[in-house]
């Protein structure tokens, strides 16, 4: 395994498919995390607005 890492570290032929896959995976994780946070924040905002409308209509 160590020889494989040393061989990959010595290669300087440009970006390989493995590196593209790692970059794509990190971008996907960032998008998923961001969308989850956005959804949570929007849900909180809608719940707050709904509570205020309900309180105002009583």
Give pLDDT tens digits for 32-42: 999 999 999 99
Please indicate, yes or no, whether the overall pTM of this predicted structure exceeds 0.95: no
Chain-centre distance for alpha carbon 22: 13
Pick the residue with more confidence: 11 or 47? 47
pLDDT in tens, 14-23: 678 888 899 9
Pick the residue with more confidence: 37 or 3? 37
Helical H segments across 1-58, by residue range: 2-10, 17-57
The structural domains of the chain, with segments of one domain joined by +, span 14-57
Average pLDDT value for residue range 29-50: 97
Average pLDDT taken over every residue of the chain: 88
């Amino acid at each position: 395994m160590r020889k494989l890492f040393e061989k990959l570290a010595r290669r300087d032929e440009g970006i390989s498919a493995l590196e593209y896959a790692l970059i794509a995976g990190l971008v996907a994780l960032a998008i998923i995390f961001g969308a989850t946070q956005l959804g949570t924040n929007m849900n909180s905002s809608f719940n707050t607005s709904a509570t205020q409308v309900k309180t105002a209509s009583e």
